[in-house]
Structure 1
Amino acid sequence: MPRPYPPVRLPDCLTTFTPIPHTCPIPPNVVGYIGGQLRDPPRFVLWRNALEITVQAPSRDHALDARVGPDDEDYEYQISEASMKRNAHWLEIIQSLLDRIEFGTTNWAYLIPNREGGYTITHKERPMPKVTCPLWAPLIFEDEIQFTVWGTKWDRRGIWNGKEIDVLFATDETRFSYLDTTMRRMRAISGMDLTYEVYGHLVRKDGTVVGLVTEAAWGRPIKSSDRALIYQTAARLQSRGWVYFGSLHNHFLIAGGKVRLIEPSALKFYSKDDTERLYSDAERFHWWALNKLFWEFENYGPFGNVRLPQPRFTASFSNSNLVIPPPSPERPLGGMFIHIPSYFRTMRVRPWPDYPENYPQQRDTEDRKIQTMKHCR
């Protein structure tokens, strides 16, 4: 095993599990930015009054923004920095065009350069793939759910029939494939008592399946004393032909003394004719990975080498200020609703002029987070 890096204290906002609010944090009639895609083409998912639309910005070769060549050790980091700054730039432009976005008319819109040197919004419905997994749980309609947490655009939490829930929500082609895989894996291991209860398939009014609704994950992260329990779980999976590729990423929780797999899509099944591959992959993704993970717990701390909880578990709107830009004659309800520490700090850019900087006390913590991320590249 490599020598450990000097311990770095992770910000509490990345490791503290937060309760699920029972009301939507985005005020009525205000546009909220709930997630997106950093890589090209950049995409921004916006929300207003429970209606969503994805705005796609122009692509760009971020290698053009790097100040060093591909052989430099900081090249990938600079590419990442450039893409984050470009992301913030596009979102600022989109904010200036909010009045031209028509929620509820299409699922997609495009940010298009115009002849005057600015940009315009063009709406166009984007066909989405359909899941191929047969439905095996009750149907839950989209308007029955109140979303209150967005860890990412697809990883959500909320309330349904008074129950706290987690929702895997498909917003694009990649996530529909991810949803399909998750549905199949959850059904296949349903008798092994390794996942949270499935409440139903999330569907739109036209019957399109767009998500999977489960009991909200609860419990605690695993720790060094859980080694035997986790190893027993891995052995049981392997004995039934499964390998869990989420082991090294610490994608486990302990709930009521039982192991819960929080990334079912990371499961892979091997037929009886493929036992050699099963043993080979299990050796790497179970036993080597778990040995490394528990070694990290002992040498780095409770989250190993930055094996962080999934964003939906730590996303918090109640513990940080949320700034809506001041109203104007053109936009009487103000501009875009953004989780300031989560967005501007993560993008490592200063907020736009109409988003006042209210977080000098967090700068040291965020700088440590950035150094940790660079440390563990």
Structure 2
Amino acid sequence: MDFDLTEEQSILKDSLNRLLADTYGFEQRRKHMGSPEGWSGEMWGRYGEMGLMALPFSEADGGLGGSSVETMIVMEAMGRALVLEPYFSTVVLGGSMLRFGASEDQRAEYIPQVAEGALKLALAYTERNSRYELHNVETVAQKDGDGWVLTGAKSVVLDGDSADWIFVTARSAGGTRDADGIGIFMVDAKADGLSRRGYVMQDGRRGAELRLDKVRAAAIGEPENGLPLLCRVVDAGIAALCAEAIGTMDVMRELTVDYLKTRKQFGVPIGAFQVLQHAAVDMFVATEQARSLAIYATMMADSEDAAERGRAMHAAKAEIGRAGKLVGENAIQLHGGVGMTMEYAIGHYFKRMSMIDIALGDHEHHLRTLAEKGGLVDA
């Protein structure tokens, strides 16, 4: 298999890395985080000008016809810069919901707006008691004429306070933990009966708590068989998060090695001590092992085989979480006390890495699920 990037993909990678290096420094990020939205509208516009929002959508739907490889390139670059803008929630999660589940009319209405950066999306699937179980849904959907009304609550909705439309999972039939009877519904953020409480999460990103009181919504796909669609969207999200994690781990390792070269103790750089060199090598090895699984997840993200795709995502997310924890803990340890301060970048990278591990299921959850499915490869 050829893992080399095409000329167009290389240009995308170089252009985005250059843009973020020039405009998204640590102090600039802190300024963006302090804005009312918690991210930069100017940078969001520049992403749109570069065509990043249009990348994963087909040309027939108004996009650029990119694949999961382009998404990997973008997410890795954003991981390096700790980007705050709602690209993951809008283009990866929300965009995948439109690509894989929306009707032709829905795609024609919403995808062009997303592609030009005019529409922001969010996915609300987590509830207080659901943990990482996608089928554990208490929010209720009731038929109401040609549409539906939703009643319930959703927690930790990434970028849910700034989204224009929100995809909400709700139960149209069955019991709380049944796999059948789950639907996915598109809700206008301005709809009557919807209340949102936004807040800053540990890594500086924005989250929201939602309450729905007879909120009108439109179904995406089959209103009683939406779990396969949700799983496919989550798989696309996992592949993208793995790519972001690689960018984050790369920078943690680079910052740590630079620190070992400049910080002196007993008159010599601390990088001269062999035990610290070994720790830095462990960080490198863990990052490269994780990179291999992230690439594998990217290759499998477009697969139509749900079982094989799911196994790949479980394996990749389990390894990414394990490796990210090792790299982050070593980075903080080797930086010493300064690594724990808010004024130094390394701690912010470790926070983001920790949140990536938790998002869409932590490494222990995915390792356990993969084991229950018989492992990555059939015996």
State the TM-score, normalizing by the size of structure 1. 0.27
Q: Which has the larger radius of gyration?
A: 1
Structure with higher RCO (Cα < 8 A, 6+ apart): 1
- Structure (1 or 2) with the greater helix fraction: 2
Normalised by the length of structure 2, the TM-score is 0.27
Q: Which has the higher strand share?
A: 1
